[in-house]
């Protein structure tokens, strides 16, 4: 486990930080991120962008992360005491929320800066909790399965649809639950088609997240290979 001081200095060697205060239900979080997102974009070399078209989406707090966190607070039994994977954890908001509800969270992201920020934010907000921080590319699924996977706002490019669907098919336990937040993008339509082709069914719930004084309604999808019924879930 790294210290808060080590994690903070690791990030500050690359870019200055700012602190954001957010409230999710009764949970008050202090979240560190880059002070200037535009400067992160400018740092990406042409070679890096050509290779993977990767942008620093991790450095923002998104409405989907807040909405999924709220949904978990309404439905804590789905994560309490469970080994949970968060894919594309970014700043770690949703995984931190799950930890406060008793989950043992593996935070994963493709960007190393995101993992450092998520670990910093975890230790800044959690006194006790079990966690791991893993560099993970969903295009290369690990040989491991989880009973619960969390994902907030990860379906935004056509080229990711098949590898994401394959990842969930391989890494979610046979009777596991995927909770996915999606802000009503058209690109999600073929993604959910790809999930159903792999034997998944899903239920949708609406959760309104108010972030930066801008409320946005986000779709929360409960996805599983087993039959789900609405009476299993609580909503706001």
Helices assigned H by DSSP within the chain: 4-12, 37-43, 46-52, 63-74, 93-100, 112-125, 161-171, 188-197
Cα(170)–Cα(164) distance, rounded to whole angstroms?
10
Taking only the tens place, the pLDDT of each residue in 119-169 is: 999 999 998 888 999 999 999 999 999 999 999 999 988 999 999 999 999
Nearest to 114 by CA among 101, 138, 139, 133: 133
Looking at the domain 4-232, which fold is it? Rossmann fold (3.40.50)
Task: Dihedral sign for Cα 93, 30, 212, 116, please.
Answer: negative
Mean pLDDT for 16-24 is 94
Cα(185)–Cα(179) distance, rounded to whole angstroms?
17
Give, rounded to a whole angstrom, the gap between the first and last alpha carbons of the chain: 36
Taking only the tens place, the pLDDT of each residue in 172-197 is: 999 999 999 999 999 999 999 999 99
Contact 47, 60 (CB under 8 A): no
């Amino acid at each position: 486990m790294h210290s808060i001081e080590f994690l903070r200095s690791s990030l500050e060697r690359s870019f200055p930080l700012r602190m954001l205060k957010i409230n999710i239900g009764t949970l008050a979080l202090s979240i560190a991120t880059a002070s200037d997102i535009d400067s992160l974009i400018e740092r990406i070399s042409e070679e890096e962008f050509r290779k993977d078209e990767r942008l620093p989406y991790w450095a923002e707090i998104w409405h989907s992360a807040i909405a999924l966190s709220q949904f978990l607070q309404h439905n804590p039994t789905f994560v309490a005491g469970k080994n949970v994977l968060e894919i594309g954890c970014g700043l770690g908001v949703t995984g931190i929320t799950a930890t406060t509800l008793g989950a043992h969270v593996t935070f994963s992201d493709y960007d190393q800066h995101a993992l450092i920020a998520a670990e910093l934010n975890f230790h800044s907000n959690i006194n006790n909790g079990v966690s791991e921080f893993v560099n993970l590319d969903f295009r290369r699924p690990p040989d491991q399965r989880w009973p619960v996977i969390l994902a907030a706002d990860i379906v935004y490019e056509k080229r990711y649809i098949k590898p994401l669907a394959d990842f969930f098919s391989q890494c979610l336990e046979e009777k596991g639950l995927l909770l996915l937040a999606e802000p009503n993008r058209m690109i999600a339509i073929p993604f959910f088609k790809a999930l159903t082709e792999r034997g998944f069914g899903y239920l949708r719930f609406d959760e309104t997240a108010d972030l930066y004084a801008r409320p946005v309604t986000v779709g929360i999808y409960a996805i599983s290979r087993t039959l789900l019924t609405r009476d299993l879930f609580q909503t706001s």
